Structure 1
Amino acid sequence: QNFGNRAGVADTVRFSDKLRAYQGFFFQQAEWNLNSKLLFTLGLSENFSGYEVDRQIDATRKPTGLQSRKFDPVVIPRVALNYRMNAFSSVYGSVSSGFSPPTIDEVRTNEGSLNFALEAEKGINYEVGYRLGKEKFNFELIGYYLKLEETITTFTNANGVVLFRNAGSTDQKGIEATVDYALLRNSDGFVRDILLGTAYTGQFFKFDEYAKQANDFSGNDLTGVPKHNLVSRLDLRTSIGFYLNFTHQFTDKIPLNDANTVYQESYDLVNMRFGYVRKIGKFDLEVFAGVDNLLDESYSLGNDLNAFAARFYQPAPTRNWYGGVKLGLNY
């Protein structure tokens, strides 16, 4: 239900709907070990989905009643091949198609408007990867290319409501890399654990074919997606109970409109937490303190894309400190 707003108090009902969304799938997969090192996988799924909106009250006096949208069943194949190089590493490749219908929240927005013309996203994804896992060291590298049709993007109207629309086709090329290394793990010394980790994401996403009225955005960067994102962490634990968690995240600049004329600037987000943990009889005691956004960066965790009247930004907190005490009882 949606109500009018009279000085912060709910007024009369504007819209009242009964909503029903359904989704189901049938999935089967077969695997063949062609030899001791080569594994072939074939998967096949069929998806069924749809939704209904039974509008019972409409203060705008538009016709009420039941409206529905059903998506025809879609068969989605997947083929993958994995080659085991040795006991610690392997390479793999896969080709898969995808089908993603709009959610009920995208069709019936939170202020009551209905969009039954929204089409499902359809795409095909090519992926190759390499994995290495050996005792204290783990590494994974993935490259992919996703060709997506009827990409669903967002925009904000004059009332600040986030709405959804199809934006033609997009080319999404990406690379993901993760490295984890245990410098120390369950050591007998004063410092028990020193764990290091880094994850990089490169997202080179562009509109392939996207024309809106007189504007042609084909070739522009996909709205709301940074090209580079890097997250690093350090976790340290001592034998007497002191610990330290440190994380650093770099986020590249982000296009905020389809025309690529407005960007959020890149930023570095640093968080740190320090604490002490000790068991006292049947109790677990933890005392901790930390800081978020140590560098006092100006950034946003939820930009409004294609916002009306250039209202793009939802500022996140600046530098802030916290602390606490936790006490748990062991039975």
Structure 2
Amino acid sequence: MEQLMFDRHRRLRSSENMRALVRENHLRPEDFIYPIFVVEGENIRSEVSSMPDVYHVSLDHLNKEIEELVELGVLSVMVFGVPAHKDEVGSQAYDEHGIVQKAISQIKENFPEMVVIADTCLCQYTDHGHCGVIEGGKILNDPTLDLLARTAVSQAKAGADIIAPSNMMDGFVAAIRHGLDEEGFEDVPIMSYAVKYSSAFYGPFRDAAHSTPQFGDRKTYQMDPANRTEAIREAQSDVDEDADFLIVKPALSYLDIVRDVRERFNVPVVAYNVSGEYSMVKAAAANGWVNERDIVLEKLISMKRAGADLIVTYHAKDASKWLREKN
């Protein structure tokens, strides 16, 4: 028989160790950023109904949460607050004694090595659930910037290592950078939600953060899911305004955008594996339709393969345990 000429790709898949030897992308616990929802009150560790294994925690339970992450090798957390009081301008967001500020201070006092990222937005704190100042039913851009800068400064004063503004107002990075610099926090980096789509995948998060808009939607400030090149314009603006990290949110349905941002910008890229992506896997796994471990690790490696340096994910604890078992 005449010798056929073709490539033998399977040679490099012949065993587990061979596959590990040539593996191009890797997951590590230090790649993960774990979101935490901190609430007012005492002795609260209440599971979010739409997000199995994700909890609202009061400050007296917070240390235990962080201890578990440290043990698993997760090096960073993103802190979200659920205040007891809301008003039209979200004043608890920039209150120096607010729930997020207290949580940040507590974490840094007890776990100084933990990198604490402060979500900087108003939606959890406003009684209307929008990310900005409202006038005549319209979300005002420029007056909102002042409140965002105040919020960022209060979080930096509390000890936040990184400020992560998530509101998608035009100029939000510039306003926050100016506010931080004026107050002597020029060394505090900004992890911008540079590319944040108006997505149906956010539903469970709004349950967790109690941040569902009371009227309308967020389509005038979050991006249209149909748009791709607009993402580069958004990210470019934030880089020009001195953002240190760029977040793409959501992650799984927007891996093309993660790749676009990775190829264009020379700063760390963060994929946000959002609540809807998390809860769908949890629901399917609970019904025995998928292998949770395998599908989660495959999903997370797809984000690294697309170009993400870091991943914000509610799977961080489980994924870190599974990675430890593999090793």
* Bigger RCO (CA 8 Å, 6+ sep): 2
TM-score (norm 1): 0.26
